[in-house]
Structure 1
């Protein structure tokens, strides 16, 4: 054998070794994939052997596939202070966290017991308060805690369980048992991310997932839905809604994901109103009664009347409706008191009093500065303890004393002694480690598990799995989603296959979705679809004109200064980036590069391409629960293209800037195609189409007015007409029809009067009429036209009665009749938009009947008083409307 062959075989062997994914954690590390003697935990063996056989390259490809799925699903976690950054993407490690069934059964029993215990504590603290009277809990621990809401005293919920959802954060201790670090009881987050993680992992590793005999999780969400339905005070088909804080909330993605999965409308505070002692949702068909609210807003923010007065996320008067039992909230208002870290110190005694035994799941050792002996211990050992505020919503972060210098420790000690009832200290609990893929190999990372339980008729059901979070590095023990900690899917594995639960609707759940789709759409969501359509069309029209201008400015045949002036003026008018070129000097008009680049990429300038697309993306975020996966994928393509815009435009006019706009135009065209070919012809589709048609008509009218009002020389006229036809995509049609007519008359016919041209004004007006008659409150069969029908008819008549030769008549260098008619047509379109907004979004027009969940009528209120107006802008060029995007 030659030396070269020997080296080749040696290299191949080395590559084969490098292609494996063997996992060897350091000795002495508490790693869950290893037993005490260092051998592989049998629960982990199949997973580790499988990924070892895959090798790093194959696992890297699976990880990339998982990231693509998460991106296409729009999975994000908003990191405060970094909106829109790449760090907001949801991160999922391709290796799951594995727990076998035997181990899980003990954890599950402890969690059920803990949920039952916390339910009893909640009922006692807002009821007889025996725990305080019998000395199990000091009164200062309750009454000095910000989470205790006196206004919620005595409020009762149907059934034995007051606490509907409970989440616990746990870590594995050296002895193999689980230790609870904290509980979440106000609005526990993470269950939606669990579902998304499981969906992704089952697609990325279908065989591994199937052969691992992983417990299914779908039944947990079915239990949740059934429980919420059983809470309805109306006794009939309930209307359940999910209350979110809005698109800027850190876990907004999971709010929309859960609402979609369970079939609930997602509402914000502005979508709800209290009238006649009930809670109502502002829908397109008037006000609809809400029976149950699954809230994702903290306690004190839910009602600005009785709770926190400066809250913009709550519904005025909500607590009074809850108090009367006419609406049920899950979890109930006031349940945040259970997140009181002081409870952990007294939990063993509380459990003995309420259950007759200590909890099966231990809690982290906790010291309360309000206790004299605990205070002395905290001060003496502050450098070995984690100090935290007893109230999680205090805005103060936990701090480890060992990380502070002497001056900082002294300041912390003074703060604790000055507000001793507000501080607790906890032992630093080391976290166990699990194998994690770092892109090249496997390494141990600290691990924290959050899992969930939901109330049933008699007790609680625990989610078989949970949201596992891991550290960002091997060294650090600090785990926080706000710091970008990745997640893992959690696999509870059985020794034999588990029977898959019914995935589709069951007879019990079918009735929940029996109400018409229209009833379950808040007006705000549909308004955002409408503005999404408008902003998408506005951005596309702007970019089509800008591309045409870029090509003409860089073309082989130079255009005259007069034609360039009119083109640039029209760009400013169309984008509404005024004053822009409308008052530019001749020198600025001759060198327009700086202004044109700002019109494209300046996100702080209203009307710019970037600003308009950002407005469209904001509107899409606010209506996310109604968008398909393909639509979200195209929206993510838009975000990516927008992120690349600055780099693509770095060369300015000299480097074909029109090509930088191509990906954006293509993505918007794809979005338009999806709405046409893949969207159900529901009321949401009609409003997104109406927004699109109104905006396209307005943009066409403005372009015609800008390019053709002034009478120019023959060469200028050719340039301007070409720009019009190119931006409207009818230049080829114009050339084909040129044998019969030529010049501006044929161009105007194509963009104004040709009903076969999908970009003509008359085409838009005809489509608007078709949508209008299908809207709710369309007054079908009525002989008298409503105001919006009158306005649309007037606009259509104005266009149809047009005589093109008269429009083209010029006087004093201006086509005055053309300018007047385009101005009048634009005013009618804006008026039509305003009427649609007032009637369907702001509910200002007509009478609105209060309709109960079973279709009965309550009192009739005037439209102007039935709902707080949503301040949406209705002009043809508008900034992002509050509540409208």
Structure 2
């Protein structure tokens, strides 16, 4: 509902009554749930919310839909995604973020902070005990089956003492606000807690929508906690302040990969995958173009079992062989230390009160929901009659069991659950049901309450103490549902922690960075990143070339004058060479109309079968470009990545519409190709002007120019073979393919002779599309790589043809063969040398720089 100050609703309210206006649009919370919006404050609203709406004002309230649209646009523009494996179309689904933040007042936050701080200390102490003296097991404070019987208990970690005695650096706690106003712990995440990146993006996005409210409500900032985490890791790392820290990700197909890249960029860390690392002499090294470089600390974003295929899951391709040995040797800080999976079991919550008294000598400051592990006979007997009012959860991960909410089950289903639990009681844990508090959300017309779960993070500072990050990741259940989970269609919200004291304006910026820290800012190029940058360059150029070629073919075939046999032969040959038509398509010389239809039909694979059609169609090339870019997303600006996504999505959408037209309208195809060409020009501009000129960029450039040299030299050779260059239309088509039409006519007026063509397209040192310019650029890039990376690159440069030896007189010389046809032997020889040299160079670079990369790397077909 787009409100206008002239609407009757607004006319009926005075400007000083925004709280009353908000209340009039707010639906009440469901019975039994705490209503976060309402309370004892003015106008029937809780004090934080009354203040929030006062800061927005009536004009701001009238503008909520525009702000919501801006928010969604910002999420799309920033490429914020959350991958949902169960959703067929869910890969890289846009992140769902509500317009209103969740507000937590100072009193509530004091309760949360004290409870979370204590629990972080408790869990760290438990890890030290479980992998040390095991007093908790000996005193029966914790059943052995919940620890040693847990598949995530790692015997390889027994007796290990991590650096600084810190087992856990990042701990996430899922909290619920109960109907009585108390905060309860529902669960905890210790292996690789997700959310630290998403909550940062949420904070930036929502603060931009309500800047006055954000400042006026004194919302506490987040940077100090992140800085404490980084300082803490450096304090205990082997190299101290000069430690190299990286963030270990499973890769771009992980559901939360966006936040891995986002968090790495925010913290100034290298984002690495397992095959970027290797272990030598019990030390971890990063595989770079320049050789092996040490890594002293890793923040991991994959679960423990995948970390080391030598000692954990042998089938893991995500981890690093020997990683645990480096950890045990004291040469690596791993955040978090492996082995914490048993702490994530829901069954553990029921034992924590006694454990806290034993390890810390103090009761729990924040309660957990009442929890029964059914592996104990007494607990099973007592909980079976209570299933209707509880939540049944699996005790161990990957048991194949799902969570069931008792109140959603019928009598027969409850009996079936009771039978299963009686047969395998240790597999089940029952937790009491707590109606989640409901926070206000905006749906475009009204303020609707939705059930809320808040994940709060404790971050270690390396000195034995913890920072509780003043904020969190809010998860909202879909309206009318009981479970707040992103995988079940939930959404998120920002969390504003309000303070009565000063707002902390600390930043991550170091006031006096060390010399080593400055050197680290020039991040090394990993071998995996280098390979994907190389192919990003090749597929960007390949996409540009195939788009331009498809435009030329359709323009020539759709002209008023029928093409000559020589021109049609060249169009057919060059289209086949670049896989714009399938092998069984007839030549344009047989039927130009059928040939054009075949080309348009093959522009992109069908959406339902991306493997169908040509493996080098325009759509395939754009998809391959996107795939390579996704592997190095942390190296690309947001604008660069957005352009790549929009180009691929836009072209595939247009191709799908074109396929629905039985006539395959040439005008529509030309329009979509023109749009793709313009977008690719913008992508090229981003690669040229907005990427650091490091060795990774040089390999990207090498990839582009290898592709350009292969395509253009082969197209020119086909022009000689078919004789199309001796005809005006064929001559103009070749100049257009080299993207040199304007330059040619400016320099040579109306000349259409081979001497002028050779001078501009082969020899011109200032034309970035001439073969001489391409070869010269390749030689320069390789020479620089030879200085920085490997001397062999300089040798590759010397093996390329040398344009200094090319002569216009010699290349322009021709002779007639026995059929009376003109043969340009010297030019044909140069073109063949260029094509072969480019292909050989691609293979040589792959052998030198990429051959060690494992089978999962994104090395795409040449």
Q: What TM-score do you get using the length of structure 2 for normalisation?
A: 0.91
Contact in 2 for aligned 1:283/1:519 (Cα 8 Å): no
Contact in 2 for aligned 1:698/1:826 (Cα 8 Å): yes
Size of the aligned set, in residue pairs, is 838
- Structure 2 residue corresponding to 1:735, chosen from 745, 750, 760: 745
Q: Distance in 1 between matches of 2:350 and 2:692?
A: 55
- Structure 1 residue corresponding to 2:714, chosen from 699, 702, 718: 702
Shift of 1:279: 1.2
**Correspondence for 1:719:** 729
Q: Distance in 2 between matches of 1:152 and 1:204?
A: 47
Q: Distance in 2 between matches of 1:46 and 1:807?
A: 85
Q: Distance in 1 between matches of 2:216 and 2:789?
A: 59
Q: Distance in 1 between matches of 2:330 and 2:586?
A: 61
Contact in 2 for aligned 1:436/1:443 (Cα 8 Å): yes
Shift of 1:703: 2.0
Q: Distance in 1 between matches of 2:52 and 2:793?
A: 68
**Correspondence for 1:832:** 841
Q: How does 1:770-785 map to 2 (within 5 A)?
A: 770-775=780-785, 777=787
Cα deviation code 1:809-853 (max 9, x no counterpart): 66656858455543332121122222223333346xxxxxxxxxx
Corresponding position: 1:663 with 2:692: no
Cα deviation code 1:285-326 (max 9, x no counterpart): 101111111111100010111101111111111111111111
Contact in 1 for aligned 2:759/2:808 (Cα 8 Å): no
Contact in 2 for aligned 1:529/1:688 (Cα 8 Å): yes
Q: Distance in 2 between matches of 1:796 and 1:613?
A: 32
**Correspondence for 2:537:** 533
Q: 1:172 to 1:450 in 2, by over 3 A?
A: same
Cα deviation code 1:665-699 (max 9, x no counterpart): 21211121122223332223222222222222222
Unpaired stretches in structure 2, ≥5 consecutive residues: none
Shift of 1:235: 4.8
Corresponding position: 1:686 with 2:686: no
**Correspondence for 1:105:** 110
Q: How does 1:399-478 map to 2 (within 5 A)?
A: 399-404=404-409, 408-409=413-414, 411-456=416-461, 457-473=463-479, 475-478=480-483
Q: 1:669 to 1:111 in 2, by over 3 A?
A: same
Q: How does 1:191-202 map to 2 (within 5 A)?
A: 191-202=196-207
**Correspondence for 1:803:** 810
**Correspondence for 2:28:** 26
Q: 1:86 to 1:140 in 2, by over 3 A?
A: closer
Corresponding position: 1:571 with 2:580: no
Corresponding position: 1:332 with 2:337: yes
Q: 1:12 to 1:470 in 2, by over 3 A?
A: closer
SS in 1 for 2:626: helix
Q: Distance in 2 between matches of 1:423 and 1:466?
A: 29
Q: 1:779 to 1:326 in 2, by over 3 A?
A: closer
Greater shift, 280-289 or 637-646, is seen at 637-646
Cα deviation code 1:138-197 (max 9, x no counterpart): 111212111111111111112232211110011100111111111000011100111111
Contact in 2 for aligned 1:169/1:448 (Cα 8 Å): yes
Q: 1:364 to 1:820 in 2, by over 3 A?
A: farther
Q: Distance in 1 between matches of 2:357 and 2:445?
A: 50
Shift of 1:406: 5.9
Contact in 1 for aligned 2:34/2:180 (Cα 8 Å): no
Q: 1:175 to 1:384 in 2, by over 3 A?
A: closer
Shift of 1:801: 7.8
**Correspondence for 1:305:** 310
- Structure 2 residue corresponding to 1:673, chosen from 666, 685, 710: 685
Q: 1:634 to 1:644 in 2, by over 3 A?
A: same
Contact in 2 for aligned 1:107/1:178 (Cα 8 Å): yes
**Correspondence for 2:556:** 552
**Correspondence for 2:617:** 608
SS in 2 for 1:657: helix
Q: 1:674 to 1:810 in 2, by over 3 A?
A: farther
Q: Distance in 2 between matches of 1:144 and 1:90?
A: 37
Contact in 2 for aligned 1:145/1:422 (Cα 8 Å): no
Greater shift, 280-289 or 759-768, is seen at 759-768
Shift of 1:365: 1.6
Q: 1:740 to 1:173 in 2, by over 3 A?
A: closer
**Correspondence for 1:314:** 319
Q: Distance in 2 between matches of 1:348 and 1:835?
A: 63
Q: Distance in 1 between matches of 2:380 and 2:685?
A: 66
Greater shift, 107-116 or 191-200, is seen at 191-200
Corresponding position: 1:291 with 2:296: yes
Corresponding position: 1:260 with 2:274: no
Contact in 2 for aligned 1:72/1:636 (Cα 8 Å): no
Cα deviation code 1:645-675 (max 9, x no counterpart): 2355244234331111222221211121122
**Correspondence for 1:122:** 127
Cα deviation code 1:475-507 (max 9, x no counterpart): 112211123322111111123652422453233
Q: Distance in 2 between matches of 1:584 and 1:723?
A: 15
Shift of 1:412: 3.8
Greater shift, 666-675 or 381-390, is seen at 381-390
Q: 1:574 to 1:554 in 2, by over 3 A?
A: same
Q: Distance in 1 between matches of 2:725 and 2:241?
A: 73
Q: How does 1:456-535 map to 2 (within 5 A)?
A: 456=461, 457-473=463-479, 475-495=480-500, 498-502=503-507, 504-507=509-512, 510=514, 513-517=517-521, 520-535=524-539
Contact in 1 for aligned 2:170/2:335 (Cα 8 Å): yes
Cα deviation code 1:448-499 (max 9, x no counterpart): 10010111213111000011111222x1122111233221111111236524
SS in 2 for 1:166: strand
Q: Distance in 1 between matches of 2:847 and 2:161?
A: 39
Q: Distance in 2 between matches of 1:17 and 1:140?
A: 65
Q: Distance in 2 between matches of 1:182 and 1:814?
A: 81
Q: Distance in 1 between matches of 2:243 and 2:137?
A: 38
**Correspondence for 1:3:** none
**Correspondence for 1:638:** 647
Unpaired stretches in structure 1, ≥5 consecutive residues: 1-8, 844-866, 879-885
Q: Distance in 2 between matches of 1:836 and 1:329?
A: 34
Q: Distance in 2 between matches of 1:391 and 1:808?
A: 81
Greater shift, 401-410 or 594-603, is seen at 401-410
Shift of 1:745: 3.8
Shift of 1:785: 8.6
Contact in 2 for aligned 1:265/1:521 (Cα 8 Å): no
Corresponding position: 1:187 with 2:189: no
Q: Distance in 2 between matches of 1:811 and 1:445?
A: 85
SS in 2 for 1:274: strand
- Structure 2 residue corresponding to 1:248, chosen from 237, 243, 253: 253
**Correspondence for 1:233:** 238
SS in 1 for 2:768: coil
Corresponding position: 1:628 with 2:637: yes
SS in 2 for 1:774: helix
**Correspondence for 1:850:** none
Greater shift, 185-194 or 618-627, is seen at 618-627
Shift of 1:269: 0.8
Q: What TM-score do you get using the length of structure 1 for normalisation?
A: 0.88
Contact in 1 for aligned 2:185/2:367 (Cα 8 Å): yes
Contact in 1 for aligned 2:308/2:320 (Cα 8 Å): yes
Shift of 1:401: 3.8
